[in-house]
Structure 1
Amino acid sequence: MERKQRPEVPVPEQIERWHHPGPPTVDEVPEEIEEQRLEATRRQQKMTEDKTGEAE
């Protein structure tokens, strides 16, 4: 007897938080997460400058 595969159901927290499955859109990213991303980008650019003398 062959079992039917259940369609993949997104995790409920993802739906509740963003009101849709999957990652958030740019407009839905909380400010603190966006600030962390910007800071990481700044650090990466600084490390690149330190190694090559110019930013990428």
Structure 2
Amino acid sequence: MKRQKRDRLERARTRGYQAGVSGRSKDNCPHQDFDAKGEWLGGWREAMEDKGAGLFLR
């Protein structure tokens, strides 16, 4: 049974979240595509909110 490939925008959001949790700057977004960049930044912002709420150690 084949595994389906995840949506590229979902991957961009996940990578942005991981970057935010690890403390990377939002300026390090690797995407040029408007939609993918928006998703990446959305994930990054979500990670920053979670860090601010104390879910991750700084």
TM-score range, shorter chain: 0.3 to 0.5
Q: Is the radius of gyration larger for structure 1 or structure 2?
A: 1
TM-score after normalising by structure 2: 0.40
Structure with more of its chain in helix, by fraction: 2
Larger RCO (CA under 8 A, 6+ residues apart): 2
| TM-score normalised by length of structure 1 | 0.42
